[in-house]
Amino acid sequence: MIRCVFFDLDGTLIDYVSVERAISYFGEFSRFLCEELGLNSAHEEQLISGAVGAIFDPHPGQTNQQAFDAFCAQSLANNARFARYQELFAHFFAEIFPTLRSNEQPAFYNREAIVACRERGLKVAIASQPLFCAAAINARVAWAGLADLQIPLASSSETAYSVKPRLDYYLELAQRLEVAPRECLMVGNEDYNDMTASQVGMTTFYVGDESQSSNGNQWGGAGTLADFAASLDELLATPRR
């Protein structure tokens, strides 16, 4: 029985122009750090690209944020400068990041899809790629027009120890919401990053064109968020293998 539904954010609950736009958020942060810390452009580029890379590298026992910060601490090589970096990080994502909205818009039927889940007594949580801290993810939830629904975050850089599409990531999601993987439904727009949840026993719904699949993941369904809401009862009634 499905008890919990995880929704991806970018491209699923929120429309955006491109993946490059999502990545550019770190570029904005990088330029901000360069100005505030007096870094040269080469150090600036190496600092943030290396820190993001550290999140994708295995880092047992460290959250994604701890891996990111550890790389920055090593790169800055100065306790006072690193302490300043931590202050700037908190300021940027709490105060500046929410102002960076440009073309991001609520995805069609995103609110109705979430309400449909809640009306059926299902837990709902945001399962975005946990590169970003909770402050940044919450800002993007607001851009999606969903802040008032107070949807909990299933993962953020502060809580996640892995990233999509690693199977550990999906197991972490289930554990955090205190449900078994087979009791979860993952809704997302990326075959590789989101639909891989099926490999740990989660039901999946692909928000996109089924013909675009090339990864061979097993889906519970595919279509728009409106299609998802319309087929939700059928998904819930389908016997789990």
Element (DSSP H or E) covering residue 50: helix 41-56
Please tell me the pTM assigned to this model: 0.92
Question: Which among 231, 22, 12 is positioned nearest to 108, based on CA atoms?
Answer: 12
Domain boundary among 69, 99, 129: 99
Q: Are residues 81 and 112 in the same domain?
A: no
Spatial separation of the C-alpha atoms in residues 166 and 125, rounded to whole Å: 19
Q: Which two tokens stand for residue 168?
A: 């550990």
Give the domain-ending residue among 99, 115, 132: 99
Q: What is the mean pLDDT of residues 118-131?
A: 96
Contact 140, 128 (CB under 8 A): yes
- Asked whether residue 53 falls in the same domain as residue 144, the answer is no
Q: CA angle, 187 as apex, 144 and 157 as ends, to 5°?
A: 65
Q: Quote the percentage of the chain above a pLDDT of 90.
A: 69
The residue behind tokens 């102002």 is 99
Q: Are 11 and 24 in a shared domain? A: no
23-65: pLDDT as tens digits? 788 888 888 988 898 877 777 778 888 999 999 999 999 999 9
Q: Which of 42, 72, 99 is a domain's end point? A: 99
Q: What is the CATH number of the domain that holds 172?
A: 3.40.50.1000
What total number of domains does the chain contain? 2
pLDDT tens digits along 56-67: 999 999 999 999
Residue 38's pLDDT is 84
Domain range holding 127? 4-16+104-237
